[in-house]
A and B are shown apart, each in its own frame.
Chain A
């Protein structure tokens, strides 16, 4: 009983105190924008933002759906490319030696600055947007997956060698399941990147999406709408992140000990 009680206490302490801080911040924000008469185009009060969020649902709902789809498919393509690159480089060490340094180097180019080029080459359609998202997503996945393969337990590898396992068996029965936690940490990073990539690619030119909604709101000084967009981007990131954590819980088994420590 006491044990359960202490868990509950810890749970409430964990969630209640940040909640309190959040509420406090919102109250300060609301009070100061009312008392100090801050103009709404500069910093709208939270209540104004919430009101716009509710009233304007019909205005931005299709933007939201479009961005969600873009981020989702971009993430899927990025994750696939990342995993394929990681496996190829892992299974072909000679290729890895030749390409891996270049891969790291390529990440010194902020992908965002490539976006105008992509627009020139591929126009304003879905293609350049998916390329931007793929480019920002595949790298964290590829790197963490390669790391996961490299950190394969020496003891287990030794056992597999002694047991006479083939290279393919070592890969499917040992290296791949062993790398799963690393793959997932890459996927989690990539999930939030994909939303960011989607919004930024929409800024550059699109006819719908949260990014478009944001640029429109900004040019007409509808700061409340900018905040609504920011809020939904946060929610979208959290849903993506949560979905991946859920998938991780289902797929990663028997490592309770490692998780606790």
Chain B
């Protein structure tokens, strides 16, 4: 079980507020997307959850325990794959585990197989494509001992086709484990396609603008992306985001 509660988080950066009273929660087994324009402090929020910096105000609770400022409480996949170039793929995916316990290579091998990466266990990261590297990074997050997974725009560096492949892949892998996921993105389609709930952030300072509960059934298929209803939702969220811009100009 793992449930994250974000309570009234505020953060200043060089005197400017970048997060202002941000509150939301991710329930056990829920996939939540945090959607906001670039530079809206989404990554900062992750740094705060990860304990790299401390918020001026507010707290994080994981399963009821205060984890504010505590490192290593969540499992994390950054924007770039951040694989260790001198480690083989198998050694890379066990790293998260290795930091806290003894690595389980058999489980890692099974996971890599499920992720469509069998045969690459002994390869080095530079021999893999960008999409595959990102898969490895995600498998590393899944294998980490923490149950709660934070994904920081993991597909933003990929091209459109690879990105869709990766999204479908992520969904199939996730369906098997149903771990709680907080997914940060600036792509509306991605947020809608993947998540159970989309939280829209405004920028400067980031505040929760609106929350959308995504009604689409799981497992989700690619066809969904072109359905009438999907486009309707996309439009609604787009207008919500546009609203941000108008407010800023006025």
Question: A residues touching B (Cβ–Cβ < 8 Å)?
Answer: 153, 155-156, 158-166, 169, 173-174, 177-178, 180, 252-258
Task: List, in ascending order, chain B residues with CB within 8 A of A258's CB.
Answer: 85, 126
A sample of 21 inter-chain contacts (CB < 8 A) reads A158-B52, A158-B78, A159-B78, A160-B99, A161-B52, A161-B71, A162-B76, A163-B75, A163-B95, A164-B100, A253-B124, A254-B85, A254-B86, A254-B87, A254-B124, A255-B85, A255-B86, A255-B126, A256-B124, A256-B126, A256-B127
Known: A163-B96, A257-B126. A156 touches B82 (CB 8 A): yes
Task: List, in ascending order, chain A residues with CB within 8 A of B134's CB.
Answer: none
Q: Is the CB of B78 within 8 A of A155?
A: yes
Question: CA A158 – CA B46 in complex, angstroms?
Answer: 11
- Tell me the minimal C-beta distance from B99 to chain A in angstroms: 5
The 8 closest A-B pairs by CB, nearest first: A164-B72, A254-B124, A257-B126, A162-B50, A164-B71, A162-B76, A159-B82, A155-B82
Task: List, in ascending order, chain A residues with CB within 8 A of B74's CB.
Answer: 162
Most chain B CB neighbours (cut-off 10 Å) among A162, A165, A257: A162
Known: A252-B86, A256-B124, A256-B126. A161 touches B80 (CB 8 A): no
Known: A156-B82, A161-B50, A177-B86. A254 touches B76 (CB 8 A): no
Task: List, in ascending order, chain B residues with CB within 8 A of A256's CB.
Answer: 124, 126-127
Residue-wise, chain B 51-82 has the 8 Å CB interface mask toward A (1 for contact) of: 11000000000000000000111111010101
B88 at the interface (CB under 8 A from A): yes
- Tell me the minimal C-beta distance from B53 to chain A in angstroms: 10
Contact of B99 among A165, A178, A257 (CB under 8 A): A165
| Residue of A whose beta carbon sits closest to that of B92 | A254
Q: Is the CB of B84 within 8 A of A163?
A: no
| Residue of B whose beta carbon sits closest to that of A166 | B99
Q: Is the CB of A158 within 8 A of B82?
A: yes
| Residue of A whose beta carbon sits closest to that of B98 | A173
Question: CA A178 – CA B82 in complex, angstroms?
Answer: 13
| Residue of A whose beta carbon sits closest to that of B150 | A162
| Residue of B whose beta carbon sits closest to that of A180 | B86
B154 at the interface (CB under 8 A from A): no
Question: CA A93 – CA B235 in complex, angstroms?
Answer: 53
Task: List, in ascending order, chain B residues with CB within 8 A of A174's CB.
Answer: 84
Known: A169-B99, A253-B86, A255-B85. A163 touches B72 (CB 8 A): yes
Task: List, in ascending order, chain B residues with CB within 8 A of A156's CB.
Answer: 82, 84
Task: List, in ascending order, chain A residues with CB within 8 A of B80's CB.
Answer: 155
- Tell me the minimal C-beta distance from B160 to chain A in angstroms: 24
Question: CA A201 – CA B181 in complex, angstroms?
Answer: 65
| Residue of A whose beta carbon sits closest to that of B76 | A162
B125 at the interface (CB under 8 A from A): yes
Contact of A164 among B73, B84, B86 (CB under 8 A): B73
Question: CA A173 – CA B83 in complex, angstroms?
Answer: 12
Question: CA A160 – CA B100 in complex, angstroms?
Answer: 12
Question: CA A165 – CA B87 in complex, angstroms?
Answer: 17
